Amino acid sequence: MSISKFLLQGALTASLALALGCASAPMPVERIASAKAAIRSAAEVGATGHAGAKLHLQMAQDELARAEHLMAQDENELARGFLMRAEADAELALALARQANAESEASAMQGRVHAMETATQ
């Protein structure tokens, strides 16, 4: 067998193995669950009530939907990337919502303190 035929056969074998490896990537079940949990948590904390949090929550929901579409087409490796982004965006939405809630509570407390100070004078 000549060197060029050997290299060509090796390249074809490697390409076939790569294609089969990509096509048979396992469904990212853990990623689906964690992305959905993060989205649910952000929604429960009130992410839809704050502009920045709402944007990132919507992005997470869109990425989850895209991942589910890709998994239906057996594109599990691509879906895994979208699920990672969905989880990250949902976690950011959660953090932004918590920050906005904390700022709102702090402002309300400052108002109460000011009212108490005014009443005692």
Instruction: Give domain limits for the chain.
Output: 27-120
Average pLDDT for consecutive 10-residue bins of the chain (121 residues)?
A: 51 50 74 96 95 96 98 95 97 96 88 86 79
pLDDT at 7: 46
Does this model's pTM top 0.85?
Answer: no
pLDDT at 12: 47
| Cα 62 from Cα 57, distance rounded (Å) | 9
pLDDT at 13: 56
